[in-house]
Amino acid sequence: MPEIKNNILTLLGEQILPGESKEVNFDVANLHTSTPVNVPLIIERSKRPGPTVLFTAGIHGDEVNGVEIVRQIISKGINKPKCGTIICMPVINVFGFINLKREFPDGRDLNRVFPGSAIGSLAGRVAHKLTCDVIPHVDMVIDFHTGGAGRFNAPQLRYSKDSKALNDLAKVFGAPFVLYSKNLPKSFRTTCYKLGKPLLLFEGGKSFHIDDNVTNAGVNGSKRILKHLGMLSTNFKVSHPKKPCIFIDDSKWRRAKYSGMFKAVAPVGSYVQKHDILGNITDPYGKFNYFVKASHAGYIINVNEAPIVYQGDALFHISTTLKQLR
């Protein structure tokens, strides 16, 4: 557990006492108009000692569903712990959020520049500040993301394979799916891994969109984790997942054979058999209609909802191998 001297948490130059609530400003740079940009960290501490959990969202500025999940955690008071400390950072990439763009104004993807540099690019400086000034103070991170480029993700957790600790936490969280994925170089997840901070990455929905089912999955999963850690207030009830979590060992994309207008008919999260019709591609003139069929059986964990696709575009992400956990 990170050291908290005399039960006083010192974060970004501010002291937060046990039982105290405080907003701390995570500021890096002003807008080009000289307007200050406030990126608040909302910190809630119990008088009772316990773990420190960090909820983050908005690493990509267009992934508003993740922001909505953390917003609800705050607005409903879920972030007021029975013990320990909860830190919420709803919008890390506030510059992208202002412009509804994935990247920073310097064109960089924040999730590819960690751990960053104090004298590097704007994105690199934000990554460095988060890595050096926030992450060392926490025990666990839950980071919320969405699908991009019109592709809708079923609610799912992602982390590297063969981590029993994360498998156990994933079962507690109760998302419909776990998709094993390698730690990507220079990502937030990889940096936390190297610092010994367990991180659950939640994916759900798509960019520029808020979906109630995805939001509920993220909020309910967060409550289950907090209850598991003994941190959730007794004011909140925790529901059990409707179905056991499905752990996906491997998966494959079904890609477009033709360019054209596209409509999916198989819902995200459903199980399909080989040769089942997933959707169709047509031309604007009513002369062409191609049925997209499943190349293999599996769960659909991502669906492309773009109305126009080109040959080779990813349409459906379908599991190929499921992992059996004891």
Where are the extended beta strands (E) located within the chain? 9-11, 14-16, 21-25, 40-45, 52-57, 85-89, 140-147, 151-159, 177-180, 199-206, 246-255, 260-264, 271-272, 277-282, 289-293, 298-304, 308-309, 314-322
Residue 32 DSSP SS3: coil
- Residue type at 146? T
DSSP state of 244: P
Using CA atoms of 16, 77, 138, 174 in order, give the dihedral in degrees to the nearest 10: 170
- Residue type at 139? D
Domain with CATH 2.40.50.100 in the chain: 250-322
- Give yes or no for residue 140 having a pLDDT over 60: yes
Q: What are phi and psi of 261, to 5 degrees?
A: -85, 135
Q: Rounded to two decimals, what is the model's pTM?
A: 0.96
- Give yes or no for residue 89 having a pLDDT over 80: yes
Question: How far is residue 297's CA from residue 169's CA, in Å, rounded to a whole number?
Answer: 28
Mean pLDDT of the chain: 95
Q: How many helices (H) and strands (E) does the chain have?
A: 6, 18
Question: How far is residue 50's CA from residue 82's CA, in Å, rounded to a whole number?
Answer: 9
Q: Which structure tokens are listed for 33?
A: 């108009």
Give me the percent of the chain exceeding a pLDDT of 90.
Answer: 92
- What pLDDT, on a 0 to 100 scale, did the predictor assign at position 250? 96
Going by C-alpha positions, the residue among 58, 250, 266, 53 that lies closest to residue 146 is 58
What would the pLDDT profile of 260-280 be if each residue is shown by its tens digit?
999 999 999 999 999 999 999
What's the mean pLDDT in 180-198? 96
- Give yes or no for residue 92 having a pLDDT over 70: yes
For 5-228, which CATH superfamily applies? Answer: Zn peptidases (3.40.630.10)
- Give yes or no for residue 12 having a pLDDT over 90: yes
Domain 250-322 has CATH 3.30.420.40: no
Return the ∠ at Cα 178 (arms to 177 and 179), rounded to 5°: 115
Using CA atoms of 269, 274, 279, 280 in order, give the dihedral in degrees to the nearest 10: 160
Question: How far is residue 29's CA from residue 164's CA, in Å, rounded to a whole number?
Answer: 40
Question: How far is residue 303's CA from residue 211's CA, in Å, rounded to a whole number?
Answer: 14
Q: Which residue bears the tokens 């006492």?
A: 17
- What pLDDT, on a 0 to 100 scale, did the predictor assign at position 5? 61
Q: Which structure tokens are listed for 278?
A: 């997933």
Could you give the C-alpha distances from 240 to 179, 205, 226, 316, 317, in angstroms and in order?
20, 21, 14, 29, 27
Domain with CATH 3.40.630.10 in the chain: 5-228
Q: Cβ(68)–Cβ(74) under 8 Å?
A: no
- Give yes or no for residue 2 having a pLDDT over 80: no
- What pLDDT, on a 0 to 100 scale, did the predictor assign at position 3? 52
